[in-house]
Structure 1
Amino acid sequence: MTVNVPATPWTMMYTIYREVIPKVHRMLGQWREKAEQIPNPELRRQALISIENKAFHCEGGGVYAMFAPESRQENILQFIIAYQTICDYLDGLCDWSESQNPDDFHMLHKALQHALEPGQEVENYYFYREDQDDGDYLKELVETCQSNLVTFPGFWNAKEYMEELSHYYRTLQVHKHVQKEERVPRLTAWFDEVKEEFPDIRWYEFNACTGSTLGIYALGAYAARSHLADVQARSIKSVYFPYVQGVHILLDYFIDQQEDIADDELNFCAQYEDEEEMVERVRYFKKEAEKKVRKLPDAAFHSLIVKGLFAIYLADEKVQTEPSMKKTAKQFIRFGGLPAAFFYINTWVYRRNSKLIYG
């Protein structure tokens, strides 16, 4: 099925602001209403915090709806918003967990596994927790993913590769939330199992690559458009992982460095010897990502996604208010080129205006 996918920065930004973001916030508003009805006060608090503080994750993921024909855009957006809301909600539950129990984290994240398995019955994902009653909030998120995925003509060939990327994500969430002294040994041991597949990537870079959901959304969007051959789905996965996803999460950790240091949290960008090395490695990931996306249909769109990632993160208030980070951000923008600069300026303006529109 033919879809007119934006191929220039201005048409992409116009479509995002005019069509994608309003739909994303409408759907998030519906989940916010459900979150407000959660009986357990702690689960309700975490659900509402995740929606209020992480809406830009859904905005970014929602961009992939532009791949789908108009008749399926509602379905792909419903899937992306629900899946990303699960990710952000569970991340908050793990961050604030007192037990730091890996069994608990694994059980919680089975929700993401089941979200990609239409027909799979939901379980009690809070099995290891005192806080239990969420009024079926997580169940409804999982079932929303399932019910929309089965409408995608290419889903069953994409499923294996969506699950592979989801498995990476879920494994990271378990390892990075356990007790502090266990985190690096767990993460390095995990990398040792796969490092022969990724000879040019370091352990902390690999772990960063696993923390992105972009490949899942790209696969979902292509599956929503038409039937996918197995080889096509595998190609999309290999384009997005590791390099596109690496750019995404390295930038995410870059803007969180000072906050993570203050909170004594593990930050993957803090593993570099110095800022110069970090900048060069991000440049390398960006170069490899752009080389990979040229292999895909709609290559210009995917290239704009890579450049847009720089804008989304570098326009963040944390960067704008910290002189040293702002200086490094300017280097990132320069090697992102004119499209990155265009997205950066527009994102900076949007972030400030959106506070008035969405609160």
Structure 2
Amino acid sequence: MTAQVPQNAVHLMFRVYKEVFPEVHKELNYWVERAKKIPNKELRTQAIASIEDKTFHCEGGSIYSMLAGPQWKESIRFIVAYQTISDYLDNLCDRSTSMDPIDFRMLHQSMADALTPENEIKDYYHYRDDKDDGNYLSDLVHTCQNVLKDSSDYPMVQKHTLKLGSLYTDLQVHKHVIEEERIPRLKSWFKDHQSEWPHLEWYEFSACTGSTLGIFCLVSYMLNGRMDESLAAQVERSYFPFMQGLHILLDYYIDQREDEEEGDLNFCSYYAHEEQMKHRFEYFVRQTHEEVQELPDTAFHQMIHEGLVGMYLADRKVGKLDNAKSFVKDLLKVSGRKAKFFYYNTKMYHKLKPGRPL
């Protein structure tokens, strides 16, 4: 891959399909084979399912490898391993007989260790009966650690990755406990952060913490040797809360019908009505647009921003939602011209290959 960061949508999509996705699938194939060898049946089932059902998470996240220049393959190795940990743990918590927040926090300690190269591997399954994964989770952690420890620039980035990672872990713990405790815990957690983000509702803040994009952006810039203290702080500001919030709110938007049928928590359901939700989505779009102007490679980040909107709204599930046509039309309009490009490009991609975006 060339070192140049794509500046237009056609160049971006060409690189994505020709270089990034094939490398992502190569990494994922390795982890699928590892997952198949997990001795414990339940852990093996969830590990395989988390990759097969959520490949699009790794595909989408790995677009940030284009910021890593010559180290793009190392970036993909980190992104795939870290995202695979995230998706695996999400499956373990979602489909677990355990509702123990201590168990969930111990599992997610693996994500903090993945971002801390000097940390030793721990017994992440300490509080659950299913334990023997044949070192699957620890090998994922080691893979992330090995990428980060080879960079002398990582100390400049680490406090930002750990902050974003810690918020992500808090969300996962609070939203997976027994149903009657979830909302009180999430609201109480938001009170600790509300003074910093008074313009957000508790459910919007929760959504903002649920994305890994900021971490992928920080690590990719670092691998390219372009990182300094100022850029690290700016990436965090530009991605959290609005870019990450837009990402996860869109994810919840397309899952509304599915989550309602399965009785799962969906942050979009807490908006008073459809018009309020559309207004707030438009607010997130505008704020994200403002924030990414402060980053280098502005055109790239703007494409990611518009791509999120276009690709999510092109998902097949959107067609099953009430008032989807007007919602899609209005959000595409406020998101910019490239959002429509990604919208129609993704529609075509779905016709050629089954799957989901980002």
TM-score (norm 2): 0.96
- What is the match of residue 33 of structure 2? 33
Counterpart residue identity of residue 28, structure 1: L
CA drift of 1:323 comes to: 5.7
- What is the match of residue 295 of structure 1? 294
CA drift of 1:321 comes to: 4.2
Distance 1:273 1:21 in 2: 39
- What is the match of residue 318 of structure 1? 317
CA drift of 1:256 comes to: 1.1
CA drift of 1:224 comes to: 0.7
- What is the match of residue 14 of structure 2? 14
Counterpart residue identity of residue 339, structure 1: K
CA drift of 1:248 comes to: 0.3
TM-score (norm 1): 0.96
CA drift of 1:322 comes to: 4.2
- What is the match of residue 107 of structure 1? 106
CA drift of 1:231 comes to: 2.3
- What is the match of residue 54 of structure 1? 54
Aligned residues: 354
- What is the match of residue 4 of structure 1? 4
Distance 1:219 1:164 in 2: 12
> What is the alpha-carbon root mean square deviation over aligned residues?
1.4
User: Residue 67 of structure 2 contacts residue 224 of structure 2 at CA under 8 Å; is this kept in 1?
Assistant: yes
Residues 33 and 326 of structure 1: CA distance in aligned 2, closer, same or farther (over 3 Å): farther
CA drift of 1:263 comes to: 1.7
Distance 2:340 2:231 in 1: 32
User: Residue 155 of structure 1 contacts residue 223 of structure 1 at CA under 8 Å; is this kept in 2?
Assistant: yes
Deviations 1:38-72 (A, max 9, x none): 111111110111101100100110000001122x1
- What is the match of residue 76 of structure 1? 75
- What is the match of residue 136 of structure 2? 137
% identical aligned pairs: 47
Distance 1:151 1:330 in 2: 46
Counterpart residue identity of residue 213, structure 1: T
CA drift of 1:331 comes to: 2.5
Distance 2:248 2:325 in 1: 18
- What is the match of residue 90 of structure 1? 89
Counterpart residue identity of residue 293, structure 1: V
CA drift of 1:98 comes to: 1.6
Distance 2:189 2:14 in 1: 42
- What is the match of residue 209 of structure 1? 208
- What is the match of residue 347 of structure 1? 346
Counterpart residue identity of residue 35, structure 1: A
Gaps of 5+ in 1: none
Distance 1:316 1:33 in 2: 29
Counterpart residue identity of residue 334, structure 2: F
Classify the secondary structure of the residue corresponding to 1:100: coil
Classify the secondary structure of the residue corresponding to 1:194: coil
CA drift of 1:327 comes to: 4.1
Deviations 1:194-233 (A, max 9, x none): 1110121111100100000000001001111115222221
Residues 187 and 323 of structure 1: CA distance in aligned 2, closer, same or farther (over 3 Å): closer
- What is the match of residue 195 of structure 1? 194
Distance 1:329 1:43 in 2: 38
User: Residue 64 of structure 2 contacts residue 220 of structure 2 at CA under 8 Å; is this kept in 1?
Assistant: yes
